[in-house]
Structure 1
Amino acid sequence: MSVPTRGRRWITVCALTASAALVAIPPSAASGRGGADPFGVRTLHQLAKEREQSVGSRASSSPRLKADDDDGNEADEIAEGADQYAEARTSPGVIAPGAYGAAWRDLRKLPATKGAWRNLTDLPYNSDDARYRDIDSNSSGGAGQVTGRMAALAADDDGYVYAGSAGGGVWRSRHGGGHWQPISDALPAQSTGALALDGAGRLWLGTGEATTNADAYLGSGVYVLAHPHHGGFSARLRVGGDELDSTTIHELRFGGGKVWAATSEGVWSHSTKKLSGSWKLEFAPNPEFLPGGSQADDPDAPYKNIANDIAIDPKDPSKVVLAIGWRSGDDYNGFYAKSHGTWTRITTGLGDLPADPDGVGNVTFARSADGSRYYAIDQSPEQLNTNPDSGLEGIFVSKSGSPTGPWTKIADYKGLAADNSALTSPGYMPGVQAWYNQFLTVDPSDPQHVYAGLEEVYETKDGGGTWSTVGPYWNFGFSCWSIDPAKQTGDCHQTPHSDQHGVAIGRVHGKSVVYVGNDGGVYRRPVNGSQDASGHATDWTSLNDGTIDTLQYYSVGIGRDLDHGGVSVTGGLQDNGQSILRGNDKVMGSDFGGDGGDTLTDPANGCDIAQEYVYLAIQVTDNCAVNDGSWTTDASKATSYGVAPPDNATSEARFIAPLATDLKNGSTWIAGGRHVWVQTHGYAIRSGSEWTSVHDFGAGRVATAVAASGGKIYAAWCGPCNNQGFARGIAVGNADGTGWHDIALPANGTVPNRYLSGFAVDPKNADHVLLAVNGFSRHWTEGPGAGVGHVFESRDGGTTWKDISANLPDVPADSALVTSDGGLAVATDLGVVYRAPGRTKWQRVGSLPAVAVLQLKTGPDGGTLYAATHGRGIYAVKLRSLR
């Protein structure tokens, strides 16, 4: 991917939360396109230009994908980025169900250290902060206060609203939004797939986010809270047995005394009256690929029984239609109904709704309260794989109220684009990532009043005759947009964050409101709200008041705040740029946009920051990217500078690629792609040409971790990185380019043949290094050389290694850190563990929910440990309190 020096693109990546199991999408099953959102005022046209260069899917070995060579298609790169997150946890094989559940139980049994975590990011995060209006920021786009991705919503008529996040659990507000409280922290899965209130007022939770992204963890089943105004979910509230453990749940629907669940392993049902007893498998199109089946170990198995939604006839609950199918297409995709006791694909009578498998992908249904109408959104595999503009088949209505139709198309991507959408450029139009972005709901008081969510929010009040883009994709590009630094969102009104996932309609103080959940959190407006002349809503309110912290961090950086005292804390986020929290801040700002990858911060000056976007697209600033709002492209007035090493231009780097400074010399930086890159100008670097390649791993190999101390560099690589021939290795050399050599790591040697995710170098001895290993041991992994263990130690510069995992549970390890006193902290997918100096056993640090911790750093004085979680923000703990 070629990233321009100035101007960025907004990218959608997927959720992760701890739970039962994770399975990678192999090349033969990978999506034709992932989700990609343009970022910033200067990049809509740039994205469109890139997408014109490549139609359809990225190159794939799948005979069912119509693939052209990828020449810079950003959406394809997002699918690849999603795959890569899963590869780290699954390669070299397929993970058996139950791995995360066992790890969580074992982790909870570890003795706990003293000390407690302190949440640093439980305060508002303003993406429109006027202090940070660098051209590469998101400021004035209109999303306002944001948090992490919301996958599902539910609301009642008493002002209660429930928000299920991708990685940070379920939250409750008693005030129509705001003053949130977490209510699912006791569960072993913090990933939400579905939320629903039944007729008795009970709140049902389906765990496991079902956006079919490769880096989404699976869930631990379905739970029900009888009195959701009080209390919270617990493991004892699980419905049925373990039948839905290790699945994702797309929707929960009710009818005929049953709750129906559309899952990644088919459609299941359970009585809503008697909650004990097993779930019943209603339909799986390819049962041989289910766990225990004859082909359960096939790499394509996780994509052979995808169920997206269930439509139940309100007049006759025995009549049910199932929407089945993998987003990229398969022979089993389609709509199914039961005939003579057998589920059969519907091939006639659907009207405009496709009957051919190529036309049915991700589907969402919605029914009017009076039962007179059914609506549906359909994403088309054929469109996904061949149309550079959109993957949307359309929005449809069944005016008979029956889910069997006949169905009439009431919207397509061209029509939605013409209704004052922000997505009107060839190559990027409404529904371009409809496999990922979908919601649909009907106003309970009006069967013709519908809200639909794709990248944007759309509304029709006449049953689809006309549409308004009430939640446009950012303010950039509209005539109302202004860069006046005194104006929070220019002359435009607030708009929801892009990429819609959840929707609910409820009442607050007797007034009907609609809630939407997206990659930026939760937003609300009156159901019958106001619009401007363009049809854009003028009355959206962000409900992300800081009490709901579901921010999904990849990284964290800490430096002294020379202006205000204390420290400046910054970190890279999924789809929410880079946050910055200064010493005296009551509100976090966002000084960079897009996805935030790795972060470097000068310990001596917290305004010296390097932030990675993706694929080593690195920006650097020496003033926290503060400017006067002028958005200048004049280099002499710039507040940030693009300094990407050359592997960025050729996309020869991981989506989130490793970046580090030398422990002994903060002006020496190391970046890893196909090459190991070094630059020695520190935060004074101003051009990507200042990087020097000191080692080439070779074609098809990319760095997974880098670390350096005193000029000695350790670099881990993989290639291939998926479970189709996975290989890994370590190279060691010097920052001046001398002494580079590969370390012998035989496939069945001490170090497992799994993804090598992080190094920790002893600051007192560069030959003493620790290695964190991702994935699961061979007990759970069917793959060559999976081995055992997650933490390894070398005292001879990497020549030989010893497994020091000891009592550490079998859980993916993401990074490691040697503390100033010789202790060792390791970040895992389920929290942080610590080994005190001179000890061999591990302890659990504090009490975090079941959330992944991706990176650990210490502060300028070395006395505080900072943890970047992917779903619950940034936490800190005093190291002295651990003993």
Structure 2
Amino acid sequence: MPRLRHRRLLITAGLSALALTIAGAPATAAPGTPRPARFNDLANTAHRTGTVHSFAAAPGEDDEEGSSDIMEQADQWNEARSAPGVVAPGAYSAAWAQLRALPRTGGNWTDETGLPYNSDDPRYRDINSNSSGGAGNVTGRVVGMAADDHGYVYAGSANGGVWRSSTGGGRWQPISDKLPAPATGDLRLDGRGRLWFATGEANTSATSFVGTGVYVLADPRHGEFRASDRVGGTELENTTIRALRFGGDTVWAATSRGVWTHSTTNLAGPWHLEFAPNPSFLPGGADAADEEAPYKNIANDIAIDPRDPSKVVLAIGWRSGDDYNGFYVRSGGTWQRTTLAGDIASDPDNLGAVTFGRSADGSKYYAIEQSPEMLATNGDSNLFGIFVSNNGNPLGPWTRVADYHKLAASGSANTSPGYMPGIQAWYNQFVQVDPADPRHLYVGLEEVFESKDAGATWTTPGPYWNFNFPCWNIDPSKQTGDCHQTVHADQHAAAIGSNGGKPYLVVGDDGGIYRRPANGKADASGHATDWVSLNDGSMDVLQYYSVGVGTDRQGRNAGVAISGGLQDNGESILRPGDRVMGSNFGGDGGDTIVDPNNGCNIAAEYVYLALSVTNNCAVNDGSWTTDPSKVSSRNVAPPDNALGSAGARFIAPIAADPGNVNDWVAGGTHVWVQHKGFAIQSGADWVNVFDLGAGHVATGVSISGGTVYAGWCGPCNNQGFTRGIAVGKADGTGWHQLSLPADGVIPNRYVSGFDVDPANPNHVYVAMNGYSRKWTEGPGAGVGHVFESRDAGAHWADISANLPDIPANALKVVWGGGLVVGTDLGVLYRAPGQTGWKVLGRNLPTTTTMELRTGLYGLRLYAATHGRGIRSYDLWQLLLFG
């Protein structure tokens, strides 16, 4: 889902300045005041600016823009891969098998971003970055953590697989690269020391990917996961898994398609569906193609009575509310909704996403509960509370020990109206109890909170950032010196392990992994003084949406500057000679345009077409200013960039003409063109050349030789899904919609991207997302993923041939006339004059490739992967190795 998120909160300047900044207009700020947040989560933006509905509308509610539009945005990535229907189990495995059966070209990929990425790099410290916030070195989102008592730590990344450290964190090694699914749902060590890896991230974020089930590694300290380690069959394919829990000889899985169980002693045989509240919405059911199907069987967590594993409580429900939300227990052989005793909410209005945590001795249970009603009505938080069952019984009675007001008063950085603890409780949750002390627990929301007395009192050892506190100033010489390393925002997972008898806490969040002693030190404000970033560059799971390269000379070093937009980690930049990457734009980083002749001319999208341009790599000039008129970048967003409106998609497409870098196109509900290149000064320089039509929004754009192609969807959710392609000239003439009947050559699926023959603008290729009709229950799913036209789209030919049936995201015509396509599983290559496809290179890890670009003279290919960093491939290798 388009995750709603943050970046620097303007505490003193008020909401009007924030709204202006989000819309792309400058906002004034007092010297030394943090700049307004680059919110990368739609819901929070909605609460603060009023520009859109929040993620509050429950499926089926009568909210014309709210329910269907917000759900579509919330599940944008998943729907791009499932439209126009629901993908049946088995699709992923089939695509993986097809990919493995393909021949490979020779040559190897280079990991360009496999080095530390410093979000606090002082070279890029101005109001458009988050530098000096205190997160330090970062990597991609980590959503699963496990640790043992021998110094081994295991980390599950959002879309880069599982990693192992034998040193308590750092010097990471990948241990799941032989699996088809790199998306983590949960990661657990069981009582036998086996490591369980549940695939399919259940964060309902804009970039959460489904998985292929659950895998078990018998010797996690030395081994690696293999496809043969899967538990059961294909039952859990194309689902997300939020939690694994163990009770007796049974493992329970909370998934997007209900709760499933399997034996832990016999790993063969299928998973058993224990409970699905709305089975008609499951694949094969009568309502499987309904737009609400993905939201009708969501399971969040499972609580098991430590004294009697047969007593189980299921936490079920969609975060925005539905009439099936509730706690369920087994009674008389069936699952019945129940009311738990005490303060915890059991009604569908207040019971949304729930996470349980149990003490090692079984004496206490803890829970986080998110409220759909608060999500709909409370602009400050949707956290209903943190609760404890002091007798260890998951049935209660439950006592509320914290709400968002209590947490805000505990040293939180999120104390201003509109962004208080739990504002993203639907996305950020973990509970970790100290195994040595049932009264000592850590809770993760946007920040890390700690209680040593079972919730009676709280501190905030991991504040959101340092900007809100007296220790901070953008000028290092004016800082008081007592700001400490903190964690990146948005917490997802935690574990307590030890090494040499010294216990430590590790947490996973949107910036990677951080560690501190389990009983660490803190300052007078309760902020930890002993956090260590474990993101040393050895675990490159950075989630790029885009990549751009251009020539650059930095001192004596000449080469290329590599830029890219990242999920919640801004825009990274790597310049010649750098040993550490820096971040010159904060928040989410979307699409990117870089001048091939000057890598310091950069156009960086935030989200929803909020664009900024720099002409000097956004290097800080030493003035240490927060004055928008004196910083090194300017806002140039086209008018369709209103955050969260129908104006543009979360990550909206932009492109420059490879033959004329001054001609740009951007896609929202309209097609926008500007002819000033990197000299653009404001959003007023954009010209609206075409209206895509009511309810239509661009999903991919391309411009070449003055001809523009724009793919769109609308409705973009599965129910009634429609796609199309518009073509016209950059001067505004000749615009028309192509005739693409639902049963035509071009399938009725997402139009992901284009590339154009540089010698002929009428010769165009298009990539299509999703799966073929073999796997997709929905009208017009069709077949094929890559199509070619030689007459500007009047006629198309399917050139997919032996390409695996897997979502395709990007295309690139490369040196010599070859064609490269980036998919959800890898990068494929078709040689000039050939019809068959090969896997490009021999060492690209399995992950999603979102964008492809070539460097100077077109001799090197760059791939923006959404989970394994930016990779490059020297195209000369095709001549040397074939």
TM-score (norm 2): 0.92
Q: Which of these residues, 442, 448, 464, is aligned with residue 473 of structure 1?
A: 464
Note the 1:171-320 alignment, pairs <5 A.
171-213=163-205, 215-320=207-312
Rounded Cα–Cα distance in structure 1 between residues aligned with 2:713 and 2:211: 28
Deviation at 1:154, TM superposition (A): 0.3
User: Hey, what does 1:30 align to over in structure 2?
Assistant: none
Residue aligned with 1:318, SS: coil
User: Hey, what does 1:22 align to over in structure 2?
Assistant: none
**Which shifted more, 713-722 or 767-776?**
713-722
Rounded Cα–Cα distance in structure 2 between residues aligned with 1:143 and 1:56: 30
Residue aligned with 2:215, SS: strand
1:594 aligns with 2:570: no
Q: Which of these residues, 873, 877, 881, is aligned with residue 881 of structure 1?
A: 877
Q: 1:385 to 1:232 in 2, by over 3 A?
A: same
1:139 aligns with 2:135: no
Rounded Cα–Cα distance in structure 2 between residues aligned with 1:813 and 1:745: 19
User: Hey, what does 1:845 align to over in structure 2?
Assistant: 840
Rounded Cα–Cα distance in structure 2 between residues aligned with 1:838 and 1:621: 41
1:90 aligns with 2:82: yes
- Deviation sequence 1:385-434 (CA, Å, 0-9, x none): 22222111110011111111111000011111121211112222111111
Q: 1:715 to 1:278 in 2, by over 3 A?
A: closer
Q: Is the 8 A contact 2:707 2:729 kept in 1?
A: yes
Q: 1:295 to 1:766 in 2, by over 3 A?
A: closer
Rounded Cα–Cα distance in structure 2 between residues aligned with 1:808 and 1:369: 49
**Which shifted more, 314-323 or 854-863?**
314-323
Deviation at 1:485, TM superposition (A): 4.2
Rounded Cα–Cα distance in structure 2 between residues aligned with 1:307 and 1:741: 45
1:627 aligns with 2:627: no
Q: 1:571 to 1:76 in 2, by over 3 A?
A: farther
Deviation at 1:487, TM superposition (A): 8.9
Counterpart amino acid of residue 862 in structure 1: G
- Deviation sequence 1:266-311 (CA, Å, 0-9, x none): 2222222222233333322233333344433433233222221121
Q: Is the 8 A contact 1:642 1:688 kept in 2?
A: yes
Rounded Cα–Cα distance in structure 2 between residues aligned with 1:48 and 1:748: 39
User: Hey, what does 1:105 align to over in structure 2?
Assistant: 97
Q: Is the 8 A contact 1:58 1:76 kept in 2?
A: no
Deviation at 1:777, TM superposition (A): 1.8
Q: Which of these residues, 429, 437, 455, is aligned with residue 428 of structure 2?
A: 437
Deviation at 1:544, TM superposition (A): 0.5
Counterpart amino acid of residue 877 in structure 1: Y
Counterpart amino acid of residue 529 in structure 1: G
**Which shifted more, 582-591 or 362-371?**
362-371
- Deviation sequence 1:688-715 (CA, Å, 0-9, x none): 1111122222332222222122222222
Q: 1:410 to 1:582 in 2, by over 3 A?
A: same
Rounded Cα–Cα distance in structure 2 between residues aligned with 1:602 and 1:488: 36
Deviation at 1:341, TM superposition (A): 3.2
User: Hey, what does 1:615 align to over in structure 2?
Assistant: 608
Rounded Cα–Cα distance in structure 2 between residues aligned with 1:344 and 1:703: 44
Counterpart amino acid of residue 789 in structure 1: G
User: Hey, what does 2:859 align to over in structure 1?
Assistant: 863
1:409 aligns with 2:400: yes
Q: Is the 8 A contact 1:45 1:425 kept in 2?
A: no
Deviation at 1:447, TM superposition (A): 1.0
User: Hey, what does 1:822 align to over in structure 2?
Assistant: 817
Q: Is the 8 A contact 2:725 2:737 kept in 1?
A: yes
Q: 1:163 to 1:463 in 2, by over 3 A?
A: same
Note the 1:516-665 alignment, pairs <5 A.
516-563=507-554, 564-634=557-627, 637-649=630-642, 652-665=647-660
- Deviation sequence 1:332-355 (CA, Å, 0-9, x none): 2222222333322222x5111122
**Which shifted more, 618-627 or 780-789?**
780-789
Deviation at 1:82, TM superposition (A): 3.6
- Deviation sequence 1:464-519 (CA, Å, 0-9, x none): 11100111111112111121246999641111111110000011232110010001
Rounded Cα–Cα distance in structure 2 between residues aligned with 1:622 and 1:87: 37
Counterpart amino acid of residue 861 in structure 1: Y
Deviation at 1:247, TM superposition (A): 2.3
Deviation at 1:96, TM superposition (A): 2.1
Residue aligned with 1:100, SS: helix
Note the 1:504-519 alignment, pairs <5 A.
504-519=495-510
Rounded Cα–Cα distance in structure 2 between residues aligned with 1:88 and 1:305: 20
Q: 1:611 to 1:685 in 2, by over 3 A?
A: same
User: Hey, what does 1:32 align to over in structure 2?
Assistant: none
Q: Is the 8 A contact 1:57 1:386 kept in 2?
A: no
Percent identity between matched residues is 65
Q: 1:809 to 1:754 in 2, by over 3 A?
A: same
Residue aligned with 1:270, SS: strand
Q: Is the 8 A contact 1:777 1:788 kept in 2?
A: yes
Q: Which of these residues, 761, 770, 784, is aligned with residue 765 of structure 2?
A: 770
Counterpart amino acid of residue 474 in structure 1: W
Q: 1:444 to 1:320 in 2, by over 3 A?
A: same
Residue aligned with 1:881, SS: helix
Residue aligned with 1:217, SS: coil
Q: 1:490 to 1:124 in 2, by over 3 A?
A: farther
Q: 1:614 to 1:511 in 2, by over 3 A?
A: same
**Which shifted more, 294-303 or 550-559?**
294-303
Deviation at 1:137, TM superposition (A): 0.6
Residue aligned with 1:102, SS: helix
Q: Is the 8 A contact 2:261 2:272 kept in 1?
A: yes
1:736 aligns with 2:731: yes
Q: 1:740 to 1:265 in 2, by over 3 A?
A: closer
User: Hey, what does 1:119 align to over in structure 2?
Assistant: 111
Rounded Cα–Cα distance in structure 1 between residues aligned with 2:849 and 2:422: 32
Rounded Cα–Cα distance in structure 1 between residues aligned with 2:355 and 2:631: 45
Q: Is the 8 A contact 2:671 2:689 kept in 1?
A: yes
User: Hey, what does 2:20 align to over in structure 1?
Assistant: none
Rounded Cα–Cα distance in structure 2 between residues aligned with 1:881 and 1:61: 52
User: Hey, what does 1:31 align to over in structure 2?
Assistant: none
Note the 1:268-417 alignment, pairs <5 A.
268-347=260-339, 350-417=341-408
**Which shifted more, 168-177 or 242-251?**
242-251
Deviation at 1:86, TM superposition (A): 2.7
Residue aligned with 2:280, SS: helix
Q: Is the 8 A contact 1:622 1:683 kept in 2?
A: yes
User: Hey, what does 2:440 align to over in structure 1?
Assistant: 449
Note the 1:66-77 alignment, pairs <5 A.
none
Deviation at 1:63, TM superposition (A): 6.7
Rounded Cα–Cα distance in structure 2 between residues aligned with 1:129 and 1:356: 47
Rounded Cα–Cα distance in structure 2 between residues aligned with 1:870 and 1:248: 17
Residue aligned with 2:283, SS: coil
Q: 1:471 to 1:193 in 2, by over 3 A?
A: same
Rounded Cα–Cα distance in structure 2 between residues aligned with 1:317 and 1:697: 56
Counterpart amino acid of residue 561 in structure 2: S
Q: Is the 8 A contact 1:615 1:651 kept in 2?
A: no
Counterpart amino acid of residue 785 in structure 1: G
- Deviation sequence 1:211-270 (CA, Å, 0-9, x none): 234642222121111111101111111223333233222112222222222222222222
Residue aligned with 1:757, SS: strand
Counterpart amino acid of residue 745 in structure 1: L
User: Hey, what does 1:34 align to over in structure 2?
Assistant: none
Counterpart amino acid of residue 767 in structure 2: A
Rounded Cα–Cα distance in structure 1 between residues aligned with 2:56 and 2:395: 35
Task: Flag structure 2 segments of 5+ consecutive residues without an equivalent.
Answer: 1-5, 11-26
Task: Flag structure 1 segments of 5+ consecutive residues without an equivalent.
Answer: 1-5, 11-37
Q: Is the 8 A contact 1:130 1:486 kept in 2?
A: no
Say how many residue pairs are matched: 846
